[in-house]
Amino acid sequence: MYLDFFHSQESLTAVQWILRAIISFFFLLLVTKIMGQRSLSQLRLLDFIMALSIGNIIAHPLSDHDLGMKGSMITMGVLVILYLLLIFLSLKWLKFTKFVDPSPFPLIKDGKIIYKGLTKARIPIDVLLTELRKKQIHDIQQVALALWESDGTISFFLESQYQAITPKDMKLTTKPFSLPITIIKDGKIDFEELKQTDKDEEWLEEEIRMVYSVEIKNILLATIDNNDKINVFLYR
C-alpha cells in the first residue's frame, strides 16, 4: 500500500523515511499548537515533562523502521489530553497549582544573598552573578529583592535610589504610547496592517518615493506611527 511507511516494516525506502519524517514534523507542530504558546515560552514542570515525553516518543519511529507511527501518535494524543486536563486543574485547584508552579522565593533581599534560597533553587553563586550581569547590575547591594521564579528565571528589583528616573518622577507631560505598525516586510506590503492605518497602497508608494526615493522591493522593513511618519530600513 502507499501508506505502508506508516506501519512497522522490515525495511523502509528513502522516500518512505522522508514521508515518515514529514508527517511526524507536522503532527508535532499540530500537537504544540494545541498545547499553546505556554509550552514554548515558559518551560515549567508540566511543560518540561511533556517536552521530554513527546521528544522521546516521536524520535523512536523516526529512527527504527520496526516501529509503526500509529502507536506513537495515539500515545502523544493521550499525553496532550492529559496535559490540557492538568493545566485546567492547575487553574481550578490551588494546591495543585502550588505543586506544579511553586511560589517564587528570594535569592537576594536588601542587598544580601540568601544562601538557603540558592540551595533551594539548586544553583551555584556563579549563575546568580551571571544573571546579575545580564541585567547590567554590577553591585549586589543595589538589589532590593531577587526572586527565583517557577520557570527557572530570576526577577530583580532594585532599591528605589538606583531605579531609573521616569518622566512621571519629574512631572513631565508625555504622549500616550503607540506601537508602530509594520506595513512592509522583505520588500512586500502587508495589506492587512496597512488597512489599519486607513491608508492605501497608492498613498504608501507616493510617500516612500517622496521621502526616501526608493522602491518598495528594496525595503527590508517599514513601519508607520500614529502621526503617519514612516520609518524605512533598507537592505544593507
**The three cell numbers locating residue 233:** 530600513
| Segment 208-236, tens digit of pLDDT | 999 999 989 899 999 999 888 999 998 87
pLDDT averaged over every residue in the chain: 79
- The sign of the torsion formed by the CA atoms of 40, 46, 48, 54 equals negative
Distances (CA, A) of 92 to 52, 53, 233: 25, 25, 48
| Full residue range of the structural domain in which residue 92 is found | 4-97
Final residue belonging to a domain, choices 80, 97, 114 = 97
| Least confident window among 8-12, 130-134, 143-147, 189-193 | 8-12
Mean pLDDT along residues 37-52? 58
The sheet with strand 219-224 has its strands ordered as 188-189, 181-185, 219-224, 230-234
Give how many domains the chain has, as a whole number. 3
Check which CATH number belongs to the domain holding 222 and give it.
3.30.240.20
131 and 84 belong to one structural domain: no
Cα 217 to chain center, whole Å? 30
* Mean pLDDT confidence for 73-93: 76
Contacts of 231 (CB under 8 A, 6+ apart): 180, 222, 223, 224, 225
pLDDT tens figures, 112-169: 999 999 998 888 899 899 999 999 998 999 999 999 987 778 999 999 888 888 888 8
Residue 176 maps to a domain: no
